[in-house]
Amino acid sequence: MTSGKIVKFGVAGCGEIANVLHLPDLARNERARIACTCDLIAERARLTKELWHAEEYYTDFHTMLEKADIDAVVIATGMSSHGPLAIESAKAGKHFFVQKPLATNMNDANAVVEETRKSKVKGQVRPDTPLIPVYKTARNVIKEGTIGRPLWFSSGFGRDAPNWGAETFFSKEAGGPLFDLGVYSIAPITYLLGSAKRVVGLATVSIPYRLLLPEDDYTEHLAESVREARYLPWHPWRRNAPQSQKVKIEAEDNTFTLLDMGDGCLGVIVSNFVMLHGLRRPVPSPHIEIYGEEGGLIIGGVTGSSLSVLTTKKDSKYWMSGGPNEAGGWYFFGTIPQTERVNEMDHFIDCIVNDKEPLPSVEWGRHVSEIIIKSLESSRTGKALAIESTF
């Protein structure tokens, strides 16, 4: 492709994440065109097409790949379908952007990587950790040796469960909060510390049944958005909407993941759907603490974008006097400006247009998925499991 080419997109999965995030990103990018939408629920596909002025809509992903005039797809469907749809996209020669996680089983994860490289298409997976300034700054601090050899870490958060999406969040195939939320902690930890070597998981279903919104509520919300000629925020509305669909929770909703990063470094990831809404302050974010032989760092804050560093090295530019045990106080970077953040969809489009490799690569997505998959497997078998992939 030349730098002047417009990338034509098909968007699969016309739910909240596509309408509130991916479609607006595509709509404002001058190098992108929303060619079509696709959803198993025909009315959602049609309404989303109208809302974002796409040319056509589909109810079958395979048909869209065969018939639509598109260069790339956005996969924002249920979590268990990500892998199969990414594989199909690569085989069809279409670039693909995958909402996290990359896959929910290793057969799919490995096949995505294989087909992506075989077909020479661009594959990008969320979350966009390598594009976020606070993580890039923290990674440099660690690489410079400021905190010495990392020894232990903790990360993660709990939140209330979504009140919609039985198949998306609560089925055994979907995988629950570790796939939905755990990626936001596992991705940064692997970006900061490298590939994990071994995992031990502990997980259970703490709340066996929940009441959810009826499946057609979101479709009605899309219809209202079309009438208003703009996408209306759904999250504030759904908090107070009546919940009448009783579902059995099959995926573990309360999880702990212990990781061995090698070289004496161990840590824990917390991920759950069992905290009451509004209970935790600050609001849930992937708070991270990493401690080494000569200091530590903390990433946190309401937006998860503040960084503090502690080091015992008096010759370090981050050393501050008057801290605990005369080691030096915490050096507070403050909030890293989000204006420096590269938009993930802009990055993906740029990689397609200029033939570059996306920073959140499919190999990295496979590694994050393997950690999650094997953490849940470990919890069910009681065995520590080796992580075989790297990135």
Q: Among 157-171, 193-207, 276-290, name the most confident range.
A: 193-207
Q: Tens digit of pLDDT for each residue in 40-60?
A: 999 999 999 999 999 999 999
The residue-averaged pLDDT of 363-375 equals: 98
355, exposed or middle or buried, with CB in 10 Å at 0-12, 13-18, 19+?
A: exposed
The verdict on residue 53 lying in a domain is no
Q: For residue 333, is pLDDT > 80?
A: no
Place of tokens 């979907």: 174
The verdict on residue 99 lying in a domain is no
166 vs 69, higher pLDDT: 69
Whole-number Å distance between alpha carbons of 229 and 46: 14
Spatial contact of 96 and 363, defined as CB atoms under 8 Å apart: no
pLDDT at residue 338 in the model = 63
207 vs 235, higher pLDDT: 207
Spatial contact of 37 and 58, defined as CB atoms under 8 Å apart: yes
284 vs 149, higher pLDDT: 149
* Cα of 289 vs its chain's centroid, Å: 19
Q: Tens digit of pLDDT for each residue in 126-144?
A: 999 999 999 999 999 999 9
CA distances to 14, 228, 387 from 18, rounded to whole Å, are 6, 18, 31
pLDDT at residue 347 in the model = 97
- From the list 152, 143, 103, 140, the residue with the least C-alpha distance to 125 is 103
Q: For residue 324, is pLDDT > 80?
A: no
Please tell me the total number of residues recorded for the chain in this structure: 391
Q: For residue 242, is pLDDT > 90?
A: no
| CB neighbour burial string for 84-111, b if at least 16 within 10 angstroms, e if fewer | bbbbbbbebebbbbbbbbbbbbbebbbb
pLDDT at residue 201 in the model = 98
The verdict on residue 15 lying in a domain is no
The verdict on residue 65 lying in a domain is no
pLDDT at residue 2 in the model = 44
Q: Beta-carbon neighbour count of residue 133 at 10 Å? A: 17
Q: For residue 350, is pLDDT > 70?
A: yes
Residue 158: phi and psi, rounded to 5, are: -115, 160
Q: For residue 273, is pLDDT > 80?
A: yes
Q: For residue 337, is pLDDT > 70?
A: no
Domain that holds residue 275: 130-208+250-341+372-386
* Cα of 316 vs its chain's centroid, Å: 34
pLDDT band per the 50, 70, 90 thresholds, residue 328: low
- If one counts the domains in the chain, the total is 1
CA distances to 195, 198, 269, 339 from 388, rounded to whole Å, are 9, 9, 19, 37
Spatial contact of 122 and 357, defined as CB atoms under 8 Å apart: yes
The verdict on residue 292 lying in a domain is yes
Whole-number Å distance between alpha carbons of 375 and 151: 21
Spatial contact of 9 and 68, defined as CB atoms under 8 Å apart: no
Q: What is the DSSP letter of 283?
A: -
The verdict on residue 62 lying in a domain is no
381, exposed or middle or buried, with CB in 10 Å at 0-12, 13-18, 19+?
A: exposed
Whole-number Å distance between alpha carbons of 346 and 339: 14
pLDDT at residue 334 in the model = 64
The verdict on residue 3 lying in a domain is no
pLDDT at residue 305 in the model = 76
Sort strands 288-292 and 295-300 into parallel, antiparallel or unpaired. antiparallel
Q: Strand ranges (DSSP E) for the chain?
A: 7-12, 32-38, 56-58, 72-75, 95-98, 123-125, 150-158, 198-204, 209-212, 245-248, 254-262, 265-272, 288-292, 295-300, 306-311, 331-335, 385-386
Q: What is the CA radius of gyration of the chain?
A: 21
CATH code of residue 275? 3.30.360.10
pLDDT band per the 50, 70, 90 thresholds, residue 22: very high
Report the greatest alpha carbon distance in the chain.
68
The residue-averaged pLDDT of 89-93 equals: 98
The verdict on residue 36 lying in a domain is no
pLDDT band per the 50, 70, 90 thresholds, residue 4: confident
Sign of the Cα torsion 307, 281, 265, 259 reads negative
